[in-house]
Structure 1
Amino acid sequence: MKTFFKGTEVLSYKGSKLNQKSIFYFLFAIFFTFSAFAQEEDSTKVNQLDNVLVSAVRVTTKTPVSFSNMDKKEIKYRNLGQDIPILMNYLPSVVTTSDAGNGMGYTGIRVRGSDATRVNVTINGIPYNDAESQGTFWVNMPDFASSVESLQLQRGVGTSTNGSGAFGASLNMLTDNYATKASGEVSSSYGTFNSNKNTVKFSTGLLNDHFELAGRLSTMKSDGYVDRASSDLKSYFLQGTYVGKTTLIKALVFGGTQKTYQSWNGIDAEKLNDDRQYNSAGEYTDEAGKTRYYDNETDNYNQDHYQLHWSESFSDKWSTNLAFHYTRGKGYYENYKEDADMADYGLLPVDAINTTDLVRQKWLDNDFYGTTFSAKYKDEKLDVILGGGWNKYEGDHFGKVIWARYASQSELGDHYYDDFSTKRDGNIFAKVNYQIVDKLSFYGDLQYRNVNYTANSWETGLVDDTFDFFNPKAGLNFEINQKNTLYFSYARANREPNRTDYEGGNVKPEKLNDFELGWRFNSEKFQLNSNLYYMRYKDQLILTGTLDDVGNPIRSNTDKSYRLGLEVDATIKLSDKFIVRPNFTVSSNKNVDLDVEGQNYGTTDIAYSPSVIAGNIIVYSPIQDLHISLLQKYVGEQYMNNIELPAAKLADYFVNDLNVSFEIKPASIFKSIMITGLVNNILDKKYVSNGAMWDVYPYYYPQAGINILAGLTLKF
C-alpha cells in the first residue's frame, strides 16, 4: 500500500470548521482583498514576478550546486499522459519506474540511487512530499505536467528548501505563468493499452491589464501493461492572478481524483519468464476451488490543494514572497483477504470457525497546512535570501470490514483499528551569494529545522519524537573565463525517520555530509557540466529490498555508508538541424561494515544503486517546426538488497524511445496545431526497472515492450 496526504472533510481550528467550499471562497476573498489595495500600474510596466515564488529554493550557475532544468517547451513534446517522473527519465542520475509498466498510474523516481522519500518536492515553494511516508505520489495529480511552467532538479543536498530534507535531490516546480493575452487549448492523446488523455485549458489574459483567470481540466485512463493495472484519473487546475508593477498575487486551487487497480505486488521469476503481465492482486480461490479475481482491488483517493501567494518587489534590490497553503484529501484502498484471522479484525469466532474471507478498506483521512515566506535582497555583489516555513500534518488512519463470509458480531461501519498522528515541521534559513572579487564568489546557506512527530498506532507504537536539525552549506564559484567555471561546495543534511521506519522499531535519524566539485563549460555550440560528488552518511536509512504487508518499502539504519560518483551532461549543437544531449553517471555506492542481525557482511553495494546510469537525446529538426528525437536510457545492474545476494540482482537495461512533433501555424481559427507521436521502447526490450525481495525470493516489476502514444493539440 502507498501512503498519501489524506485530508479530512473539515479543517478544525479553535473550534471553527471550514469545509472545502468555504476554503475556496476564503482564498479568493483574500486574493481580491489584496488586489483592491494593490497599487494600479501601467500594463507596459508589468514584470515577470513569477520567479519570486521559487527564487528561495532555486539556483543558477552562480551557485555551486549541480542541477538540471526543464521548461514548458521541452515538456510539451512528450506530454501525452505519462507522469512527471517518466518525463524526467533522461536527466542525469535519474532512474524511473512504473507499477503498471507504461508510465501511467503509480510511478517512481530515484536520483543517485536515493528513492523518492529522499527527493524533496515543492510546488511553487510549497512542500508536496507526504509528511509521514515522505514519498511523492504523482498519481494523485494526473496530468500536472500540463500546468507546469518549469522545473528544476537539484542533485545531492542542494540548497535549503521547505519540507523534508533532501538526501538525494530536490525537485521544485513552478506552475503556469500568467498570460497577457486570452487563449484556449484542447489536447487529446491515445495509445497502446487503451491509454488516453483529454485536456482543456483556458486563460482570459490580463483583464484591465491586471487580472487573469486560467484553468485546466483533464481526464486520463489506461488499462496498463500489467494485467488489470488500470487507472481512471481526473484532475483540475484553477488560478487567479493579479499583476501590478511591483505586485504579483496568485490564488491556486488544484487537485485530482484517482482510482487505480492495485499492481504493486510484482511477480516472481517463474512468472517473469512465462507471463510478464501477470498480476496477483485480488486473486483468491472461491468455495468451489476456482481461481477468481476480486474486481475492486483498488486504490481510491481524492486530493485538493489550495495555495495563496503574494510576491512584492519593493525596489530593484528587495523582493518578498508570502504563501499560505492547505492540502486535503481522503481515500482508501480495498482488498479481498482470504482466510483472514478473525481476531485481527475484532471479530469473535463463530462456533469453531476463527478465520473468514473478507473485504477490508484501509482509510487515510488527513490535513496538511501551513505557510512559507522569503525576503530577497540583491545588488551588484550581494544576493541574500531569508526564508522559512511552518507546516502541520494531522492524520486519521482507520480500517473497515465491508463484507465477511462470517461476519460474527460486526456491524457495517465498524472500525477494526483507529490511530491518529500529527507532525509539525518548521524551518528558517539564510542564503548568501557574495561576489568576493570579479571571478570568485562565495555561497553560504544556514538552516535550522525543528520537527515533532507523534503517533499512537499498534504498528508504530507510541511515538513522540522531536528533532532539532542544523544544516549548514557553503561553497565557492570560480569563473576562470567567460566559458569555464569551477565550483566546490559542502552541505550538511539531517532527516527524521518516516512512519514505516517506526514500525520497524529502534530507528535513528540519519545524517549526511555532501561534498561536490564541478566544472561548467559554456560556448555557443557546446555546453558541458561535470560534477564529482562524495556523499558520506551516518545511520543512513537504506532500503532493505523487502516490503511490509501493505507494500511499503522497509528501511533500516546502516552505521556508515557513502556514495562517490561522477556526473557529466552536455549539449552539443552539431548543426542547425542536429543537437545531441548525452549524460552519464558512474558511481560507487557502498555500505561499510554492514551489520544485519548480528552478522557482518563487510563492504557491500547499497540496494537500488546502479553504478552506471546514462542517457542521451538526439534531436533532428529538418525544418523549423518539425522535431524528431531519439531518447536513450541505460541503467546498469543493481541489487535489490544490501547483502549482494545473487538472486537479488536486477539486470541492466538499455531502452530507446522515438518522439516526433510537428507544429502547424494556420492563418486563421487556430494559433497552433501540434501533432505529437511517441513510440516507447522501439526495440521491444524486455526489461525490469524495479523489484523487491520476499525473504530470499525476488519479485519484479516488468515494464512494457514497444508501445505507442499519439496526440493532437489545438491552440486558439
Structure 2
Amino acid sequence: MKTMILLALLSLTGFAQAQTRVSGTVTDRNTGKPLEGATVAVLNGPSTFTNAKGQYRITIPSQATAILQASFLGFSSQRDTLQPGATSADFSLQETGLFVKAVEIASLRAGRNAPFTKSDLSKEDIAKQNLGQDLPLLLNQLPSVVTSSDAGAGVGYTGLRVRGSDITRINVTVNGIPVNDAESQGTFFVNMPDFASSVNSIQLQRGVGTSTNGAGAFGATLNLSTNEYNEKAYGEVNAGYGSFDTWKTTVKAGSGLINNHFTFDARLSKISSNGYVDRASSDLKSFYTSAAYISKKTAVRLNVFSGKEKTYQAWNGIDQNHLDTDRTYNPSGAIESKPGQFYDNETDNYQQDHYQLFFNQALRPDLNFNIALHYTRGRGYYENYLNGENYTDYGVQAPIVNGTPITTTDLIRQLWLDNHFYGGIFSFRQEFNRFNWSGGGGWNRYDGKHYGKVIWAENGGFDKDYRWYDLTAHKKDFNIYWKGEIAITQKLRVFVDAQYRRVNYELNGFRKNPGLMVHEKYNFFNPKGGLTFQLNDQQHVYASYAIGNKEPNRDDFEVVAAETPKHETLRNLEAGYVLHAQRAGLQANVYYMNYKNQLVLTGRINDVGAYARTNIPESYRLGLELEGYYNLCPQLTLAGNAALSRNRIPDFSEFVDDWDNGGQKVVSYKDRDISFSPELVLGYTITARPIKGLSIDWLGKYVSRQYLDNTSDLARSLKAYLVNDLRFNYTVPQTFFRELSLQLMLNNIFDVKYVPNGFTYAYIEEGVQKASNGYLPMATFNFMTGVKIAF
C-alpha cells in the first residue's frame, strides 16, 4: 500500500513541464503604492505573498485557464482569469473605506519580519482539516508540536506540547483576550467545541515570543483571531460522520455589510463521539455570534460565544498489561464490588460563556487605538464513583449500624468549579515609513469557587448534596507593554519590546488542606529585543533575546509549608533565516531556552500526600527547527518540518516511595532529559492536485522517544512513533450552490499502535526500584467524512 501511494503521488511530477510562471504587482488603486504582504492565490491551488515592492511570482498550469485572486486586509479582493500562455497579471485593489483592521491583533502578533520564530495558519488552512477534532490537533503539522487525545480520536480532552512545554506554559489569546485558566494556567479547548470553525487566522510563536496579555509564555504563544470582516452575505452548512460514531454539524451565516456599516455573523455547532477508548464519549455543543458597526475611522464589535461539554472521563490511562492486550480499556468508573461493571455517569460537565466588546478607532491616518472589555463565566463539575471512602475524610461521623460503626462507604461525589474572569485590554499602534510602535496592556480579575458535593453514599450518613469543602480563590493580573521597530537602514531593522506584569494571588484553602492560605504578589519585568537583516526582497535573517517570568499555578502552592514555590524565569535566544520565494519557502532557526527555578515533578510528596512540582535550579533546551515547502509544479507541493533538540536538567533529585521501610528515598541524577521532550519531531505533507478541484494531502508525523519523568529511564518512557494520514478535499463543479465540497480524512492509515502521552510512578519494593506506567493510547486506523454546502 505504501508503494502504491508513493508511486501515485510521484507520478504527478510528470506535469512539471506543463506549467507557466506568472508575475505581476499588487497596488493600492487610489495611491498607486505597492501593497506588501498581499495574498495572490490560484483558485483551489497554490498561493504566495507580495514583497516590499508589491511584486509576486506564481506557477500556474500552462494548458488551461487559471483564476488568480489578489486580496489584502482593508481592500476588496480582485480576480483575473488567465488564458493559456499568459505570463503576467497586475492587480489594483480598491480600499473599502472602512476601518476593518484588528488593532488588538496587530499589536500582539509578531509581524512578517519580526525577529521571532513563528508559524501562521490561514482560514483556508484551518478549513481543509476541520472535521470536528479539537483545535490542538489542527496544529499537529507545525514544527515542534506534539498532540494527544484522552479519548484517542481527537474529540474531547486533548493535549498540546510545543518544544516539550505543555498547555499550562503556552499563552493563549482570542482576539488579544487571554483564555488560559487563571489557576491551573491551562487552556481547555473542550470547553470551546468547534471553535476552529469561527477562527480566521492562527499564529503560533515558539519560545517567549512578543509581549502579550495573560499568562507568561514559557513554551509558546497561541494567538487566535475571529474578528474578520465579511463584505457579502453568506450561509454555510458543514456535516460530518466518522469512526466511533462521531458526528459533526455546523451551521454558519452572515449578513454581509448592511447599509455600508453593519455586519452580523453566527455559528451553531454540535459534535458527538463515542471515542476510541471504552465509554470515552463526548457530547459537545457551542455557538458563536458577532455583531459589528464599521465606519471609516471607527469599528465596534460584540462577540458572544459559548461551549458546553459532557465527556466521560478517560484521563486515568491504562497499565502495560492492558496496553498489550486491551488498549481501549478504560478504568474510570469501575465499581470494585461489582467486577466488570462501571458507573455510567463518570463524566466531566462544564459550560463556559465568553463576552467580548471591542472599540477600534483611527485617531490619525497613521495612529490607531483599541480598547476591549471581556467577561468569561465558567461553571461545572466532574463526577466520580469512589470505592471504600473513609467518612472521616469528608468530616462526617461514621454511621452506626446494628451497634457497629461503618467507617467506609462507596459514594458518588462532584467536584465543582464556579468561575468569573473579567477585565479589559487596550492598545495603540502607529506606523511611519521607518518606525512602527505599539503599546498596550490589560487588567484582569479572576474570582473562583471550589466546592465538593456528595450526592449518594451506599451506607448513608450524608445530608442531601452535602458539601465537605467550600473554598474561594482570587487573582488579579495587570500588564503594560511597549514595542518599537525601527529601520536603521533599508536592510536593518531593530525591534525592542518591554513588559511589566504584576500578579496578586489569593488562595483561601485547598480541598485536602482547607487551612492553608496563600497570599502572594509578583512583579515581573519581561524585556525583549532583536534584529532583522533583509538580504533581499525574499530573504532575511533575524536574532532575538527575550526574558519571561511565570508564577506558580494553584497546585504548586499545596507544598511543604516551609518551601513555598518560587517563580520561574526563562531566558530565550532565537536566531533564524527566512526565505519567502514565489515557488519555495524556508525557515531555519536555532534556539536556546535557559530556565531558572523551573517547576517540575520530582516525586516529592506535599503536606497532604499529593505529588507536587518543585523548583530545580537550572535546566535548558537547545534546538534546531526547519520548516519549508516547494511547489514542484502546479499539481504537486512538498512541505515538511523538522525539530532536533537537546533538553536537559544538569542535576536532578528524585524522591521515590519506599514500600519496604516507609517514607521516601532520594536518588540523584546528572544530565537527564526533561520529561515529554522528544529529541526529534518530524512532519511532512505531500499535496497533489491531479484534477481541477481535487486536493490530496499525505501527512506524516514522527515523534522520537519521550520520557515520562526526568530520570531518562527507558522503562519509564514512550516509544517513538510514525503516523501517516490521507486527506481528500474535492470542490464539486456545479452552479446551484456557491460551493459544494466533499472531505475525507483517513487517519493512521497504516494502523500504528502508538502512545503520545502518559505518566509514571516510581517506588521501591523488596529493595528494588520499580516503576508503574500509565498510558493514554491513540486510535488505530479511523476515518472522518464531511460535506460543505455554501450559499
User: 1:83 & 1:644 partners in 2: Cα distance?
Assistant: 31
Residue aligning to 2:456 = 403
Residue aligning to 2:578 = 520
Residue aligning to 2:35 = none
What is the root-mean-square deviation in Å for CA atoms of aligned residues?
Answer: 1.8
Residue aligning to 2:47 = none
1:44-193 counterparts in 2 under 5 A?
A: 45-47=96-98, 49-193=100-244
Residue aligning to 1:36 = none
Residue aligning to 1:678 = 745
Residue aligning to 2:398 = 349
Residue aligning to 1:294 = 343
- Which of these residues, 307, 312, 323, is aligned with residue 272 of structure 1? 323
> Residue 271 of structure 1 aligns to a residue in which SS?
helix
User: 2:733 & 2:365 partners in 1: Cα distance?
Assistant: 38
Residue aligning to 2:712 = 644
User: 2:171 & 2:610 partners in 1: Cα distance?
Assistant: 19
User: 1:493 & 1:553 partners in 2: Cα distance?
Assistant: 26
Please tell me whether residue 708 in structure 1 is matched to residue 783 in structure 2.
yes
Residue aligning to 1:247 = 298
> Residue 504 of structure 1 aligns to a residue in which SS?
coil
Query: How far did residue 479 of structure 1 move?
Result: 0.8
Aligned partner letter, 2:783: I
- Which of these residues, 499, 503, 513, is aligned with residue 558 of structure 2? 503
Query: How far did residue 665 of structure 1 move?
Result: 4.8
Query: How far did residue 82 of structure 1 move?
Result: 0.3
- Which of these residues, 502, 505, 521, is aligned with residue 453 of structure 1? 505
Structure of greater relative contact order (alpha carbons < 8 Å, 6+ residues apart): 1
Query: How far did residue 554 of structure 1 move?
Result: 4.7
| Compared CA separation, residues 552 and 630, structure 1 to 2 (3 A) | farther
> Residue 391 of structure 1 aligns to a residue in which SS?
strand
User: 1:290 & 1:583 partners in 2: Cα distance?
Assistant: 48
1:526-570 alpha-carbon deviations (Å, 9 max, x no partner): 111011000011001135589999999953321100000000000
Query: How far did residue 425 of structure 1 move?
Result: 0.3
Please tell me whether residue 366 in structure 1 is matched to residue 419 in structure 2.
yes
Aligned partner letter, 2:174: I
Please tell me whether residue 307 in structure 1 is matched to residue 362 in structure 2.
no
Residue aligning to 2:639 = 581
1:56-97 alpha-carbon deviations (Å, 9 max, x no partner): 110123210000000110111111100110010000010000
Query: How far did residue 263 of structure 1 move?
Result: 0.1
**1:140 and 1:256 in contact (8 A); partners too:** yes
**2:640 and 2:685 in contact (8 A); partners too:** yes
1:349-398 alpha-carbon deviations (Å, 9 max, x no partner): 12221111100000000100000000011100111101000000000000
Query: How far did residue 523 of structure 1 move?
Result: 1.5
| Compared CA separation, residues 665 and 371, structure 1 to 2 (3 A) | farther
Query: How far did residue 247 of structure 1 move?
Result: 1.5
User: 2:99 & 2:752 partners in 1: Cα distance?
Assistant: 45
Please tell me whether residue 480 in structure 1 is matched to residue 535 in structure 2.
yes
**1:388 and 1:428 in contact (8 A); partners too:** yes
User: 2:255 & 2:144 partners in 1: Cα distance?
Assistant: 40
User: 1:362 & 1:198 partners in 2: Cα distance?
Assistant: 31
1:595-606 counterparts in 2 under 5 A?
A: 595-597=653-655, 598-606=666-674
Query: How far did residue 347 of structure 1 move?
Result: 1.8
User: 2:192 & 2:349 partners in 1: Cα distance?
Assistant: 13
> Residue 253 of structure 1 aligns to a residue in which SS?
strand
**1:382 and 1:433 in contact (8 A); partners too:** yes
- Which of these residues, 692, 695, 700, is aligned with residue 632 of structure 1? 700
User: 2:759 & 2:607 partners in 1: Cα distance?
Assistant: 13
- Which of these residues, 721, 724, 742, is aligned with residue 653 of structure 1? 721
Query: How far did residue 587 of structure 1 move?
Result: 0.3
Query: How far did residue 646 of structure 1 move?
Result: 2.5
Query: How far did residue 55 of structure 1 move?
Result: 0.9
User: 2:697 & 2:326 partners in 1: Cα distance?
Assistant: 32
Query: How far did residue 46 of structure 1 move?
Result: 3.3
> Residue 314 of structure 1 aligns to a residue in which SS?
strand
Worse-matched range after superposition: 490-499 or 587-596? 587-596
- Which of these residues, 479, 500, 508, is aligned with residue 427 of structure 1? 479
| Compared CA separation, residues 270 and 370, structure 1 to 2 (3 A) | same
User: 2:502 & 2:436 partners in 1: Cα distance?
Assistant: 26
1:589-642 alpha-carbon deviations (Å, 9 max, x no partner): 000111334543111000000000010111111234211000110000010000
Aligned partner letter, 2:412: V
**2:131 and 2:785 in contact (8 A); partners too:** yes
> Residue 293 of structure 1 aligns to a residue in which SS?
coil
Query: How far did residue 165 of structure 1 move?
Result: 0.7
| Compared CA separation, residues 144 and 545, structure 1 to 2 (3 A) | farther
| Compared CA separation, residues 551 and 379, structure 1 to 2 (3 A) | farther
Query: How far did residue 232 of structure 1 move?
Result: 0.3
**2:559 and 2:607 in contact (8 A); partners too:** no
User: 2:323 & 2:604 partners in 1: Cα distance?
Assistant: 19
Percent identity between matched residues is: 47
**2:558 and 2:612 in contact (8 A); partners too:** no
Please tell me whether residue 377 in structure 1 is matched to residue 430 in structure 2.
yes
| Compared CA separation, residues 514 and 324, structure 1 to 2 (3 A) | same
Aligned partner letter, 2:207: G
1:437-457 alpha-carbon deviations (Å, 9 max, x no partner): 111010000000000111112
User: 2:691 & 2:425 partners in 1: Cα distance?
Assistant: 46
Please tell me whether residue 567 in structure 1 is matched to residue 622 in structure 2.
no
User: 1:255 & 1:496 partners in 2: Cα distance?
Assistant: 28
**2:696 and 2:726 in contact (8 A); partners too:** yes
User: 2:610 & 2:96 partners in 1: Cα distance?
Assistant: 52
1:537-556 counterparts in 2 under 5 A?
A: 537-543=595-601, 554-556=612-614
Aligned partner letter, 2:170: V
Structure 1: gaps of 5 or more residues: 1-42
User: 1:566 & 1:521 partners in 2: Cα distance?
Assistant: 16
Residue aligning to 2:688 = 620
TM-score (norm 2): 0.83
Structure ID, larger Rg: 2
- Which of these residues, 468, 473, 490, is aligned with residue 545 of structure 2? 490
- Which of these residues, 659, 670, 676, is aligned with residue 608 of structure 1? 676
Aligned partner letter, 1:687: Y
Aligned partner letter, 1:682: I
User: 1:307 & 1:414 partners in 2: Cα distance?
Assistant: 36
> Residue 173 of structure 1 aligns to a residue in which SS?
strand
User: 2:597 & 2:323 partners in 1: Cα distance?
Assistant: 35
User: 1:475 & 1:87 partners in 2: Cα distance?
Assistant: 30
Worse-matched range after superposition: 463-472 or 499-508? 499-508
User: 2:605 & 2:507 partners in 1: Cα distance?
Assistant: 21
Structure 2: gaps of 5 or more residues: 1-93, 656-665, 763-770
1:423-443 alpha-carbon deviations (Å, 9 max, x no partner): 000000000011111110100
User: 2:367 & 2:734 partners in 1: Cα distance?
Assistant: 44
Query: How far did residue 50 of structure 1 move?
Result: 3.9
Residue aligning to 2:754 = 687
User: 1:76 & 1:544 partners in 2: Cα distance?
Assistant: 41
